[in-house]
């Protein structure tokens, strides 16, 4: 891909990531990290670092829209997120030192359990 | 692996953490929010995800938040979490700035659309969409591991 095509592809993928992020309250790294490693040839660490830089403005803009609509509580979110930031530093340093294989498998199982529950709730609850 | 969520879900019969308000500690936060914030942060940095995938389920199943508010809180909490993580990675020299700018241009525009949709969507549809999203993420992680 030449520079312009790559830029356009990245912007388009960014739109997809941003919509998902705003709708689901996730950062979007889940989509971007595989994209950057598989399609753009990034190393895992570079993909994770770059994706986090995109997550930041995305979360800010999405949160401002939700605050204007009166959804959630941005003050509370920023306070417990600040605490989580300390955990984020620890996690990032661990990621630079660990292969993380086993952890990913355990975490994937956790996600599958949650997803079963959510889908069941959405179909059963009145 | 046993199912930890069953135990977690039962505690939601207690009043929601934000209503109880009895044991306030760090930053005026309930212990549950402290735990959810830290869990989101560590997994965010470790797995390269924004942390929302951890925080949204915990906010709904443990802190007894409504689905829509949980997603909004998660997005807000991601702001300081990703800021700290990107500073850590930036110090390690791993960020590709050109690609990040291109992705961010699209993502910021998309976030306005997505957040607007979150404010309107039916909560059951939201649960279903998020459930499917988590299942896809879980399968993807298993395959790549």
| Alpha carbons B101 and A103: distance in angstroms, whole number | 30
Give the model confidence (pLDDT) of A53-90 as tens digits. Answer: 899 999 999 999 999 999 999 999 999 899 888 887 78
Every domain of chain A and the residues it spans: 3-72
> CB contacts < 8 Å between A and B, how many?
438
Provide the pLDDT for residue A74.
94
Among partner residues A27, A78, A96, which is closest to B82 by beta-carbon distance?
A27
CA distances, B87 to each of A124, B90, B92, B99 (Å): 43, 5, 9, 17
pLDDT along chain B (145 residues), means of 10: 42 46 65 85 70 85 90 93 77 81 96 96 94 90 78
Among partner residues B85, B108, B121, which is closest to A61 by beta-carbon distance?
B108
Provide the pLDDT for residue B63.
85
The answer to whether B82 faces chain A, any CB pair under 8 Å, is yes
Q: Where are the alpha helices (DSSP H) in B14-96?
A: 17-20, 31-47, 52-61, 67-91
pTM, rounded to two decimals: 0.81
Complex ipTM value: 0.85
CA distances, B27 to each of B24, B31, B56 (Å): 8, 10, 21
CA nearest to A33 within chain B: B48
Among partner residues A53, A74, A87, which is closest to B86 by beta-carbon distance?
A53
Every domain of chain B and the residues it spans: 4-144
Q: Mind telling me how many Å the CA of A4 is from chain B's nearest CA?
A: 11
Q: Do B36 and A121 touch (CB under 8 A)?
A: no
């Amino acid at each position: 891909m030449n520079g312009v095509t790559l830029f356009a592809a990245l912007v388009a993928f960014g739109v997809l990531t941003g919509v998902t992020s705003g709708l689901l309250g996730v950062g979007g790294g889940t989509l971007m990290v595989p994209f950057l490693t598989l399609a753009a040839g990034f190393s895992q660490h570079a993909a994770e670092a770059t994706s986090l830089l995109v997550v930041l403005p995305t979360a800010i803009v999405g949160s401002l829209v939700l605050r204007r609509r009166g959804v959630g509580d941005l003050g509370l979110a920023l306070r417990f997120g600040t605490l989580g930031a300390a955990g984020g530093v620890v996690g990032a340093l661990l990621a630079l030192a660990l292969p993380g294989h086993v952890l990913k498998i355990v975490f994937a199982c956790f996600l599958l359990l949650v997803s079963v529950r959510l889908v069941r709730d959405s179909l059963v609850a009145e | 692996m046993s199912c930890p969520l069953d135990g977690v879900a039962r505690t939601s019969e207690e009043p929601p953490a934000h209503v109880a308000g009895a044991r306030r500690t760090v930053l005026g936060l309930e212990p549950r929010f402290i735990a959810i914030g830290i869990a989101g942060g560590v997994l965010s940095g470790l797995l390269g995800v924004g942390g929302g995938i951890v925080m949204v389920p915990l906010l709904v199943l443990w802190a007894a938040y409504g689905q829509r508010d949980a997603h909004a809180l998660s997005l807000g909490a991601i702001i300081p979490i990703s800021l700290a993580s990107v500073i850590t990675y930036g110090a390690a020299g791993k960020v590709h700035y050109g690609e990040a700018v291109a992705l961010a241009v699209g993502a910021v525009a998309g976030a306005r659309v997505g957040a607007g949709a979150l404010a309107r969507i039916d909560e059951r549809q939201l649960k279903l969409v998020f459930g499917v999203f988590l299942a896809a993420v879980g399968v993807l992680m298993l395959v790549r591991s």
